[in-house]
Each structure stands twice: as C-alpha cells, then as structure tokens.
Structure 1
C-alpha cells in the first residue's frame, strides 16, 4: 500500500506505505528530491539519487515520509544536498539525537516529521523553484540562468547545494520522469522520445539504461 498527498509545507509531498506480502524488489527512480523517512522506528535521510535505487523490504514494513521538492530539503536538514547525494544517512548524524528520538518514537510519525521540518523551515530559493519548474518543462539551462540573473557558474553552485547536482543532471532526471509518465500512459516509445525531448528512440533507451538501470520495456514491467 502506498499513498501520497500534498504536505502543508510548500513544495513538499507527504507519503506513507506498508510493504504487502509477497512484494518483490522495488526500483525507485531519481526525481530531483530528497526524502526524510521514518521506517519502523528509525529515521533517515534518503539523499537525491543520480540513478535508480533498487530495494527490498520485509512484508509489513511501514514508512512515513516527507519528499522535499524545489530544493527545499537542505534548508531543513542544515546541510547542502550535495553532501547526501546517492546516500542514506541516519538523521541523528545531522540533528540532535533527542530531537530524532522524539520523531522515531512518536505515535504519529508523519505529524512529528512535519512538525520538526516546520520548526527548521527556510523559504525556498526562488531561483531554485524556477530551475525545478524549468527542468520539468524542458526549458534550456541557459534560459533559466538568464531569467534568474545568474551566471552559469552561480546556477551550478546553487543547484548543487539545493538538488545535489547541477542543472544539466536535474534536466536529465526530469526528462526521464516525463518519459516514464508518457510511457505508462500508453504512448509508443517513438512518440515518447519526441514529446519528452530526446533526439530519437535510441537516445531515450540509452538515457533510461543510464538513469534507471534497465531499458524502457523492462522499466515499465
């Protein structure tokens, strides 16, 4: 069972899951976000991924989490996203142990996570909100930098801090997300490659292998 909904915090999605009996390995695609996750009484940070993560959890495992979009996670964690990219980090390595223990032992862990994040909340960087939106729409990086009044180097540095990687990698990840959404809606791969912004279907296949670890047909299965 998995469900998600908009959190009261801007640019944040709340989600909850319970692993059902007989569940196999799950492939989690990169999405330009980092997550703050409670799992059966432990709390950790799932940093931004550059490639898909494949995990297997025991039946009955419970998760409650917040997914931070638009580069909002680092302000709450107190560390740049590039320090946790492709990592799973215990939250008590970043926050005081007593504060993490209160979340871990809470009767409603999602409410406790939300309250803790709200106490540490910092408003999103407008340039990073613009970058995230542009990446979802496939707007070129140079256009984003010009609109935000930033040099390419400034945009790179702020993107590394907010998302864990530069704007070009963020664009590749968001293009993959668009392609997967179109493919799951039943669009043929040739049409998906054109609509999502790939040069051709071979380009789509190469990028899916690189970022998701499997070709398109295997990913949709």
Structure 2
C-alpha cells in the first residue's frame, strides 16, 4: 500500500518516522483523517509495501498492490497505519505476500486470537502507534530482499537482468523470493519503484520528459504507458493529485 493522497483538501494525512531501533522493520507510521462530510474515494498508489491499519474498531492488512486502488473511507474516520519495511511483511504476517496481493484482510484471519489481543491493546491504549510498533518486536528481516528493494529505489537502478546473480540467486529463485517477499516479481517491483521515483524527482526537473529520463524511463511515452497501467492517469494528472 502507498502513501494516501486525498482527493480534496479537507482530509488530512501525515507520516511519522519509525524509532531508530525499528527502521529496518518499519518504513514509517502514518495517520489519515477523513473529512467529516461525505468525501470522494481515496486513490492509493502502489509502492511495494504492506501496511497494518487500525480504524478504531478493527486491525487489518493492506496487501501489496500491483496497481492503484480506490478506497472508500467513512466520514470522520481516523486511520492509524504502520508501513512495514521491505523484507519484513512475510515473516511478520506468517505467509508469502503473493497471497495478499491487491487484498485488504482482517489480521484476525491470519493470526487468530493473537490478532484479537493486538486489537484489544489498540482499543484500550491512548497511543495506537506504539501498540502497532510492538507487533514488530523480534520479527526477522529478509536482508537480501531488503537490499534488492533499496537498490531498485535508487536513480542508478539497473534493469532486473543480472540482479539474481548479484544477490546469489538463480532467476527462478529470485522470482519466487520476490513473490514471497513483495507479492509480485522483481520486474513488477521495478516498475512500481520507478513510478515512485518519478513522483519524487518531478518537482526538481523543468518538464515531464526530463523527470521521466531521470527516473529511469526510456522516454515520455514509456512514462505515459506506465502511469496509465499502474495508476489509470496521465503523468500530468498523476502529478496534480499526488505530486510531492
């Protein structure tokens, strides 16, 4: 699940860095408050992450998205989220992430009574973010998948070809490990992270083509195809609604 960007100015969204000792397991904490009046659905961009979300009543998992998703959030609802660091989700949740791709699942379906205890702690406590962070205590991080993710985030990211050997995998093993760790293969992850890189770089370049090339697209047409397929918007419309 990606950063929530509301379609009107009334809803609010903010991120909080994870504590230093948990930054290999938690990408960030976040809070979203929907407007009190009825609001349009919220577009959520794919970003290669999985989020655990508390809505004040239930705890659920937003699995890895392969394309933008539209979410209806009730008026006045406050969501508190924890975005997991790459290489953490499968070990924390206890199953390969391809089972959760493009899904929103109650944590109780995965954890049973353990999820109920976590929900009770969230309902009773004054600090839901601390209760979410406690869920990551002791979880094992897949360091090689974390390394792959961080490499593909960079502006110098190469094509996926050759990454398997660099990480000590066969091509088949890399595909399986990525599907388990991210919910999809390395090529899909590469496309998603390139789109996120474009959003980050666009404000610092004079035009769409310059930003597209800096982000790793072959040309402006390549960018347009990816934004349409991954988000359902043109590059300009994407920047207008989700630019940073």
Q: TM-score, normalised by structure 1?
A: 0.92
Find runs of 4+ consecutive structure 1 residues off by over 6 angstroms. Answer: none
- Cα distance, 1:143 vs structure 2: 3.2
3-state SS of paired residue (2:161): helix
Distance in 1 of aligned mates of 2:36 and 2:198: 30
Question: Which residue is equivalent to 2:123?
Answer: 105
Question: Which residue is equivalent to 2:160?
Answer: 141
3-state SS of paired residue (1:2): strand
Matches of residues 189-200 of structure 1 in structure 2 within 5 Å? 189-200=208-219
Distance in 1 of aligned mates of 2:206 and 2:57: 41
> CA offsets per residue over residues 87-128 of structure 1, 9 Å max, x none?
000010011233243244232222111112325x11x22210
- Cα distance, 1:203 vs structure 2: 0.9
Q: Is the 8 A contact 1:33 1:70 kept in 2?
A: yes
- Cα distance, 1:59 vs structure 2: 2.9
Distance in 2 of aligned mates of 1:184 and 1:42: 37
Question: Which residue is equivalent to 1:208?
Answer: 227
- Cα distance, 1:21 vs structure 2: 4.0
Distance in 2 of aligned mates of 1:85 and 1:185: 32
Q: Is the 8 A contact 2:205 2:211 kept in 1?
A: no
How large is the RMSD of aligned CA atoms in angstroms?
1.7
Q: Bigger shift: 176-185 or 196-205?
A: 176-185
Q: TM-score, normalised by structure 2?
A: 0.84
Distance in 2 of aligned mates of 1:38 and 1:163: 22
Q: Bigger shift: 202-211 or 10-19?
A: 10-19
Distance in 2 of aligned mates of 1:147 and 1:27: 36
- Whether 1:77 and 2:93 are equivalent positions in the alignment is yes
Question: Which residue is equivalent to 1:19?
Answer: 34
Question: Which residue is equivalent to 1:126?
Answer: 143
3-state SS of paired residue (1:214): coil
Question: Which residue is equivalent to 1:7?
Answer: 18
Of 49, 52, 60 in structure 1, the residue corresponding to residue 68 of structure 2 is 52
Q: Would the alpha carbon gap of residues 11 and 100 (structure 1) be closer, same or farther in structure 2, given more than 3 Å must change?
A: closer
Distance in 1 of aligned mates of 2:195 and 2:227: 7
Of 102, 105, 115 in structure 2, the residue corresponding to residue 86 of structure 1 is 102
Unaligned segments of structure 1, at least 5 residues: none
Q: Is the 8 A contact 1:130 1:144 kept in 2?
A: no
- Cα distance, 1:167 vs structure 2: 0.5
Of 181, 187, 190 in structure 2, the residue corresponding to residue 162 of structure 1 is 181
Distance in 2 of aligned mates of 1:106 and 1:57: 23
